[in-house]
Amino acid sequence: MQYMYTADIPKTARTQLAIYGDDTTILTRASQPWLVTQLLQEAVDDLENWFRKWLIKVNPEKSTAILIKGRKKGTHDGMISMNQRDIPWRREIKYLAVTIDDRLTFILQVN
């Protein structure tokens, strides 16, 4: 059995981490898409350093980003990168067997 101790995992005042098994989610909230991107990148940078310290390998190709905007129009602003690889922005993602779209309609999940 393997254990992962996360008591010292980096946290910031403007982001939250949700860890379930080996899935880690970074959540943030801001009124401007560029600020969302900036806050997420800062959190990813802190996590990268923590992963490096504890010799944890992360596959950035399994990572995705989504900007949940509800009824607002607009799109993400900039890229988030991990290990010198851009994390793709998606209009929908699957997380813990739930399909989430960028407007939180859950239509794809219900269908």
pLDDT digits (tens, 9 = 90+) for 42-52: 999 999 999 89
| Domain positions in the chain | 1-108
Tell me how far apart the alpha carbons of residues 106 and 98 are, in angstroms, rounded to a whole number.
Answer: 9
Question: DSSP E strands: which ranges in 12-96?
Answer: 15-20, 23-28, 80-82, 85-87, 92-95
pLDDT greater than 70 at residue 2: no
pLDDT greater than 80 at residue 25: yes
Residue 95's pLDDT is: 84
pLDDT greater than 60 at residue 110: yes
The token pair that represents 74 in the structure block? 């607009």
Class of residue 36 by CB neighbours under 10 A (exposed 0-12, middle 13-18, buried 19+): buried
pTM of the model: 0.82
What residues contact residue 86 under an 8 Å CB cut-off, 6+ apart? 79, 80
Tell me how far apart the alpha carbons of residues 12 and 65 are, in angstroms, rounded to a whole number.
Answer: 18
pLDDT digits (tens, 9 = 90+) for 85-103: 999 999 998 888 889 898 8
Tell me how far apart the alpha carbons of residues 29 and 13 are, in angstroms, rounded to a whole number.
Answer: 11
pLDDT greater than 60 at residue 1: no
